[in-house]
A and B are shown apart, each in its own frame.
Chain A
């Protein structure tokens, strides 16, 4: 049984995080390509309302779904704490997996940390910003990733964690029948106690980073520059850099 784990995030009022749709699509396509038994297992950590996103994932091809939710202990977790919760759950509930796929970042906070952090906590290698899985067999895979200055091909042993960007496979549209089935699907729910997790490391107080304040955006300026090209560019760069 090849287990393909996908970590997704639920965004309030929007649903499944944009890059996670691509992660899910990659996972489901891997499942469909293999003749042997493969299973796509989806995890999300969030409030109770995240359940709807798990159902969306099922309608798009996921086989099992786990909701990690705990208003008391999980709420307020930063990215490292979130990664810890997900890694703990995957280790406990899935056992032997072949590959873990995450979206490269979340739409709202966009830290890009969760994927690599989970991989580290599970002691497996990871590849970030994957655009295409070029080949995969029982022991290795080859992927193409996107970096700031070009494309890179990486070969890795399995198990491995991938974070994906909007790559070659477009997320599928869920069919009506699968949406109807997803409504009745069984979502497994776990809290901090079920996962036997160290609560002093998570939540609002256990998370290493704390948001202290939200500063207000500086008012939109309207500045004009004229004169010599050198003067314009120098003073513009100075004022632009100061305005951020």
Chain B
């Protein structure tokens, strides 16, 4: 990789440390966790020891204070080796962002330090069986009862579900107010009335736990609410604006890992008396893959620099673009990597088939590619109205 993004010395230190953990601790066990769909607690422990869990959390709460840039650099590096395991870190960031962005200092003091230390992980709980792309269709209710709220309903497809300690859950506090009737609560794992459904068996990111959440008269204190009542949708949208680059980083890491596997293989594989990397067909595929990966990276890094600089509050279009672009690139690159490895690419012993399976989710969660396009178009419309 010859492109130099002028990262600071400390940012390079983050990458270097993530690389060491990925290669020494994750690489030997990635096949095991993928095959067994086991949650990688021992790896989370290693990430915690290396101080990688709190890169985006402010120093005041025990983190490294490196912002979203710090997060995506670490996530990208880990995803080059295994996206499923890296996802525990990325999904925790998503789950904790509502507190980070909108929480009171009491809430932050209560939850952020343990997350930064890697002692607890988080989950973002929005999706329901009938509410995927259509977020407003959520049915989980929260009825006020004195100083408490009683929560009833189910969430599905929750990453880190069942393993996380901290859940940021989006519920309907007022069914009449439509979009303004959604609120966000922090719910701890041990809360009574909060249970977990079965673990899903997935195509990819199998080391990650995806579960259903079941709320049955779950009683929580009003102090657990993030922001004010009815702010839920705004919180969700703003959170996703910050977390989408995280998904883009996952996709970018997967794509980069697949690209390296493909180049490495093409150099060694001899057919018709020559390395297949000498064939123009392969060279052109690799050239396209490499160019797209680099373009994705350049876009992601510039976008995140802009986000961290807090220049503008309007970042939804850009973060949607970057998530869309990187995830689509990941799909293309991993498919081509399998193609280049030929028959061997189809075997589980070689990692590219896993990378292809892992890449698919990036075009689906945190908003499907179609939803991203909606966001982008909406942004274009709003911008042109403003400039006229």
Touching chains A and B, CB distance < 8 Å: yes
Residues of B within 8 A of A176 (CB): 13-14, 17, 50-52, 55, 64
- Decide: B24 and A180 in contact? CB cutoff 8 A: no
Does chain B have a CB within 8 A of A109? no
- Decide: A179 and B24 in contact? CB cutoff 8 A: no
- Decide: A179 and B49 in contact? CB cutoff 8 A: no
Residues of B within 8 A of A177 (CB): 51, 64
- Decide: A173 and B14 in contact? CB cutoff 8 A: no
| Cα distance A180–B9 in the bound complex, in angstroms | 10
How many residues does chain B have at the interface if contact means C-beta atoms less than 8 Å apart?
15
Does chain B have a CB within 8 A of A188? no
| Cα distance A180–B14 in the bound complex, in angstroms | 11
Query: How many whole Å from B325's CB to the nearest CB in chain A?
Result: 29
Query: How many whole Å from A8's CB to the nearest CB in chain B?
Result: 19
| Cα distance A56–B13 in the bound complex, in angstroms | 13
Which A-chain residue is minimally distant from B48 (CB atoms)? A175
Does chain B have a CB within 8 A of A72? no
| Cα distance A159–B46 in the bound complex, in angstroms | 34
Does chain A have a CB within 8 A of B190? no
Which B-chain residue is minimally distant from A175 (CB atoms)? B51
- Give 1 or 0 for each of B105-140: 1 = CB within 8 Å of chain A CB: 000000000000000000000000000000000000
| Cα distance A177–B52 in the bound complex, in angstroms | 10
Does chain A have a CB within 8 A of B21? yes
Residues of A within 8 A of B20 (CB): 173
- Give 1 or 0 for each of A122-134: 1 = CB within 8 Å of chain B CB: 0000000000000
Residues of B within 8 A of A175 (CB): 17, 49-51
Query: How many whole Å from A16's CB to the nearest CB in chain B?
Result: 13
Given contacts A173-B46, A175-B50, 15 further A-B contacts (CB under 8 A): A173-B17, A173-B24, A173-B25, A173-B50, A174-B17, A174-B50, A175-B17, A176-B13, A176-B17, A176-B50, A176-B51, A176-B55, A176-B64, A177-B51, A180-B13
User: B-contacting residues of A (Cβ < 8 Å)?
Assistant: 172-177, 179-180
5 contacts between A and B (CB under 8 A): A173-B21, A173-B46, A176-B64, A177-B64, A180-B10
